[in-house]
Amino acid sequence: MVQATPFLLVLFLALGAHGLSAKKCSLTGRWVNDLGSNMTIMSVNANGVFAGSYHTAVTATSNEIKVSPLQGAQQKGPNQKGQPTFGFTVNWSFSDSITVFTGQCFVDEDGKEVLKTMWLLRSRVEDIKNDWKATRVGNNVFTRLQSQE
């Protein structure tokens, strides 16, 4: 017992230090992307389901931009290690289009949370002959908006 005590102490400290340093990435909160679009994600529930709002900085239409609702899900599998994958849909309230995003919530080397995403923007076309040009693809990087308190 006397010999085991130092070993257990070192093990405990090592596990504790690791636990403190392994910062997790949380989707909840306010985010801004590389285009200047703003997104707010409300709380993620126990099943990983979430909702929020999206204020895009750009549009492929000539319509006036309006804040639009989003719905999504974060992966809640049994082996989550803190940098979850997720997907969400933005149902644009000012156009006939819809966008799906998929990505992963990372903690970068500076300890900052970053969402790396790819998206598909589907526009409505009147004629099936135009289906080939109806979907745009791209990527966005989101960082957390700091509150101005």
Q: Give contact residues for ligand BTN (rule: CB under 6 A).
A: 33, 35, 37, 56, 58-61, 92, 95, 97, 99, 119, 121, 138, 140
- The residue (of 44 and 70) whose beta carbon lies closer to ligand BTN is 70
- The residue (of 74 and 140) whose beta carbon lies closer to ligand BTN is 140
Across-strand partners of 104? Answer: 85, 116
State the nearest-atom distance from the C-beta of 53 to ligand BTN, in Å. Answer: 12
What single string gives the DSSP state of each residue in 51-100?
EEEEE-S--SSSSPP--EEEEEEE---TT--S--EEEEEEE-SSSS-EEE
- The residue (of 35 and 134) whose beta carbon lies closer to ligand BTN is 35
Residue whose C-beta lies closest to ligand BTN: 37
Residue 127 phi, psi (nearest 5):
-120, 135
State the nearest-atom distance from the C-beta of 4 to ligand BTN, in Å. Answer: 56
- The residue (of 15 and 145) whose beta carbon lies closer to ligand BTN is 145
- The residue (of 31 and 50) whose beta carbon lies closer to ligand BTN is 31
State the nearest-atom distance from the C-beta of 92 to ligand BTN, in Å. Answer: 4
SS3 content of the chain, % helix, strand, coil (to 5): 15, 40, 45
Residue 38 phi, psi (nearest 5):
-110, 145
State the nearest-atom distance from the C-beta of 101 to ligand BTN, in Å. Answer: 8
* Calpha distance 38→56 (Å, rounded): 6
Strands 38-41 and 49-55: antiparallel
State the nearest-atom distance from the C-beta of 111 to ligand BTN, in Å. Answer: 25
